């Protein structure tokens, strides 16, 4: 008989569980097969491409991103998690309002097929949250973006529009940077 656990978590602000699941179940399988959330994408299945990136909120520590395809439910049991479905806000009439990151991706036509987009959205969201607490000099924005998004693989667009969108939303959002930009940046988006 397979080892099982009672899995519970808060996912996108909703308590889920306890749900009886195999102990070795990966989070992407839980999201898609048990929770009916299909926004998180399975790409490589090895945690390399980061299409499956989800956010884990750690009280007092901030948020981190993890690849859902290689992160087991056992490690995530009892944690607070956000998927791409939880990034946009929904008003009391059910109207969806994209987050600033999602709006920037749309405005820059950042994606082609869109398969990797949920992972980029989640990682860029965490970057913005980090910068709210620890702003970087305006001239270091590109470096911060590269460090955060570098693990992601996009097989269609070549990254330029994703990076440009994140740069623009960071520079337009008060409090995420310090000082004025002194270097010129090509507009590639």
Within-domain flag for 185: no
Please tell me whether the peptide bond between 18 and the residue prior to it is cis, using omega within 30 degrees of 0. yes
pLDDT at position 90, please? 82
Give the CA angle between residues 114, 52, 115 to the nearest 5°. 15
pLDDT at position 158, please? 65
Phi, psi of 160 (to 5 degrees): -55, -45
Report strand pairing: 89-90 vs 136-137.
Answer: unpaired
Averaged pLDDT in 10-residue chunks for the chain of 189 residues: 91 96 97 95 90 94 95 97 93 85 94 88 97 96 95 83 95 94 65
pLDDT at position 92, please? 83
Are 129 and 158 found together in one domain? yes
Are 82 and 50 found together in one domain? yes
Q: Dihedral through CA 175, CA 162, CA 55, CA 83, nearest 10?
A: 120
Q: Which pTM value belongs to this model?
A: 0.91
Domain boundary among 28, 63, 86: 86
Domain count within the chain: 2
């Amino acid at each position: 008989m397979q080892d099982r656990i009672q899995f519970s978590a808060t996912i996108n602000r909703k308590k889920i569980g306890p749900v009886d699941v195999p102990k070795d179940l990966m989070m992407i399988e839980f999201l898609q097969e048990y929770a009916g959330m299909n926004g998180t994408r399975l790409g490589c299945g090895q945690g390399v491409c980061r299409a499956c990136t989800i956010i884990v909120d750690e009280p007092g520590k901030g948020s981190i991103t993890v690849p859902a395809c290689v992160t087991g439910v056992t490690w995530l049991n009892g944690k607070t998690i956000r998927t791409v479905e939880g990034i946009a806000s929904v008003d009391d009439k059910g109207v969806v309002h994209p987050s600033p990151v999602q709006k920037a991706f749309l405005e820059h036509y950042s994606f082609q097929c869109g398969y990797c987009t949920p992972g980029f959205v989640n990682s860029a969201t965490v970057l913005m949250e980090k910068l709210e607490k620890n702003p970087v000099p305006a001239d270091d924005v590109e470096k911060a973006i590269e460090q955060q998004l570098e693990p992601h693989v996009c097989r269609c667009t070549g990254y330029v529009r994703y990076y440009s969108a994140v740069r623009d939303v960071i520079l337009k959002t008060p409090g995420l940077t310090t000082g004025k930009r002194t270097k010129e940046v090509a507009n590639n988006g």
